[in-house]
């Protein structure tokens, strides 16, 4: 074999090293190098925190709201009536992985870059439980992670973890318990198993340190599968169909001003006319969702019962939240992703901690990016400068606070589900403006005070042109100020990918 002269070999190696260094992004330091200590808030006593997250639970499907007359959720009702109901809670991206990453980082998805369900969390992202660990908290994670990681290994920020790969399974799941995989058989149900593990951790942990427990359920993600004890509980019950489910059935629904992509999606994977390609009927789909939700409500009850019986509730604040909403026929759609109310709004309930809660309800606009700063403040820590959210703890205490008067929303087009375009929206208490990117279609403007069902798109109304112009400019100002003007492009990644197209095409 012919060899290169030594000088040429050295020059070649140096050239390759320079090329590699050019391809790499500037180093932000390893996690071990990062300073995870935050400035303490003077004269504060750390509070224990339990954060319970469900999947695809829309804001109004709870017993006390009366939205679904036959649905009974006594434990959610208890948290709402004896605690605090956040009436206007929203996500910044209505999709599992981006929303979960926003909860853990306190950042918009264009900052943490988990823009779809395949995107990996960056090695340099810091999750708020890591700050809690550094501050002396015991931390435990139980359940669905689902941020591009197709493994069930250690979860960042948690000393104790019980998790599973991807979406997991409702029945006979395999759980990774601190590195040991345990396969369950027969009728083992994932919601019950995760709750067992969480309650056991509460019972066995030491009592000399504050704790943070994150219980992250698979329920109620489709394909909805209720626990055996709840299966068929709502058989025969009829859904309440929304007024925008079928065009022509409600004279107030101005279908001519509905975007074309919405009309086309009716007959697709996420549309009522061909939902999941005809594998299930709408009414059965609706009933299964509510039946599956019952085990989540029971899980909340079991956690609250343990805290009450152990005497820990006096110094523990419990949060319950959904990771995104879900459509049941509104505008002919199912699923989430879009910026309609049932997609971006979520339940958010707060309960416990003795006299800490002074408000029965909070009506300010709260988002999932606010969870991390709020829990850090409960731990006596000031939020880091890179968090986009704000602590709403003063609002829970009944204090006056100069709070936001609008929220912002973003969703990035996904190859597996191309029916929904890239979406940006801004919502105030009165109006919502939604802009679609990359398609030739109509945008949307709704007067939510007078049109809560979003039936009359005002984008062509002469009387509302000034409002639309102001909100459009405000949306772009937000994107510029938060460095969100770039559309993150992601590779297809690894594993199977599915394109569920219009009329069943792929």
- Structural domain count, the chain: 1
Task: Tell me what the mean pLDDT of segment 347-370 comes to.
Answer: 93
Percentage of the chain beyond pLDDT 70 is 90
The pLDDT value given to residue 318: 98
DSSP-derived 3-state class of residue 490: coil
- Domain membership of residue 299 (yes or no) is yes
At 497 the pLDDT is 41
Write out pLDDT tens, residues 251-286.
999 999 999 999 999 999 999 999 999 999 999 999
Q: Are 304 and 78 in contact (CB under 8 A)?
A: yes
CB 402 within 8 A of CB 120: no
Whether residue 456 lies inside any domain: the answer is no
For 100, which DSSP code?
H
* pLDDT for res 155: 83
Question: Domain for residue 130, yes or no?
Answer: yes
- 3-class DSSP state for residue 345? strand
The answer to whether position 354 is within a domain reads: yes
- Across 384-397, average pLDDT: 96
Asked if the structure places residue 454 within a domain, the reply is no
Query: Peptide bond preceding 186: is omega within 30 degrees of 0, i.e. cis?
Result: no
Average pLDDT over residues 29-42: 69
Report if residue 261 sits inside a domain.
no
pLDDT at position 237 is 97
Between 415 and 387, the more confident residue is 387
**pLDDT tens-digit map of 480-501:** 999 999 988 877 554 444 444 4
pLDDT bracket for residue 48 (50, 70, 90): very high
| pLDDT of res. 15 | 37
Q: How far apart are CA 432 and CA 421, in angstroms?
A: 18
Domain membership of residue 314 (yes or no) is yes
Q: What pLDDT sits at residue 354?
A: 80
Residue among 408, 425, 405, 429 at smallest CA distance from 468: 425
Listed ranges 95-109, 153-167, 484-498; the one with the highest mean pLDDT: 95-109
Altogether, the residues listed in the chain come to a count of: 506
More confident residue, 462 or 20: 462
* The pLDDT of residue 124: 83
CA distances 158 to 55, 127, 306, 360, 382, Å, are 20, 10, 21, 32, 20
pLDDT number for residue 120: 82
CATH number, domain containing residue 331 = 3.40.720.10
Min mean pLDDT across 26-35, 66-75, 344-353, 394-403 is at 26-35
pLDDT at res. 489 = 82
For residue 60, give its domain range: 48-243+283-405
Q: With respect to residue 422, please indicate whether it lies within any of the assigned structural domains.
A: no
pLDDT value of position 78: 98
pLDDT on residue 34:
61
Average pLDDT, the chain: 90
């Amino acid at each position: 074999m012919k060899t290169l002269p030594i000088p040429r070999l050295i020059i070649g190696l140096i050239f390759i090293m320079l090329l590699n260094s050019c391809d790499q992004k500037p180093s932000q330091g390893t996690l071990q190098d990062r300073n995870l200590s935050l400035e303490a808030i003077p004269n504060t006593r750390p509070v224990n925190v339990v954060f319970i997250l469900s999947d695809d639970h829309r804001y109004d499907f709870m017993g006390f709201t009366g939205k679904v007359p036959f649905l009974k959720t006594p434990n959610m009702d208890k948290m709402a009536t004896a605690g605090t109901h956040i009436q206007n809670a929203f996500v910044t991206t209505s999709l599992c992985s981006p929303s979960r990453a926003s909860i853990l980082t306190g950042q918009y998805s264009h900052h943490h870059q988990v823009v779809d369900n395949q995107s990996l969390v960056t090695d340099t992202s810091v999750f708020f439980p890591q700050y809690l660990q550094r501050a002396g908290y015991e931390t435990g994670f139980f359940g669905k992670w689902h941020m591009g990681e197709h493994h069930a290994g250690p979860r960042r920020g948690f000393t104790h973890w019980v998790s599973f790969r991807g979406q997991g399974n409702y029945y006979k799941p395999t759980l990774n318990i601190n590195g040991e995989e345990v396969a369950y058989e027969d009728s083992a149900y994932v919601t019950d198993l995760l709750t067992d593990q969480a309650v056991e951790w509460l019972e066995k942990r030491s009592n000399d340190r504050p704790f943070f427990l994150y219980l992250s359920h698979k329920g109620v993600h489709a394909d909805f599968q209720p626990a055996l004890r709840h299966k068929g509980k709502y058989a025969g019950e009829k859904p309440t169909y929304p007024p925008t489910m079928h065009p022509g059935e409600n004279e107030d629904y101005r279908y001519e001003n509905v975007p074309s992509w919405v009309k086309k999606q009716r007959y697709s994977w996420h549309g009522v006319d061909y939902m999941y390609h005809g594998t299930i009927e709408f009414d059965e789909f609706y009933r299964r969702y509510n039946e599956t939700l019952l085990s989540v409500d029971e899980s909340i009850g079991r956690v609250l019962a343990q805290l009450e019986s152990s005497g820990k509730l006096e110094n523990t604040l419990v949060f319950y939240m959904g990771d995104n909403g879900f459509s049941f026929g509104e505008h002919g759609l199912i699923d989430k992703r879009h910026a309609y109310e049932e997609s971006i709004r979520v339940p958010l309930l707060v309960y416990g901690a003795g006299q800490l809660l002074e408000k029965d309800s909070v009506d300010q606009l709260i988002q999932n990016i606010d969870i991390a700063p709020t829990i850090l403040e409960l731990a006596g820590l000031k939020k880091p400068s890179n968090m986009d959210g704000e602590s709403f703890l003063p609002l829970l205490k009944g204090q006056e606070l100069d709070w936001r008067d609008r929220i912002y929303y973003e969703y990035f087009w996904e190859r597996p589900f191309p029916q929904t375009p890239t979406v940006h929206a801004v919502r105030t208490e009165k109006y919502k403006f939604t802009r679609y990117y990359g398609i030739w279609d109509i945008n949307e403007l709704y007067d939510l005070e007078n049109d809560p069902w979003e039936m009359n798109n005002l984008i062509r109304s002469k009387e509302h042109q000034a409002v639309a112009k102001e909100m459009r400019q405000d949306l772009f100002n937000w994107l510029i100020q938060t460095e969100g003007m770039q559309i993150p492009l992601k590779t297809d990644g690894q594993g199977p990918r599915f394109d569920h197209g219009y009329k069943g095409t792929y």
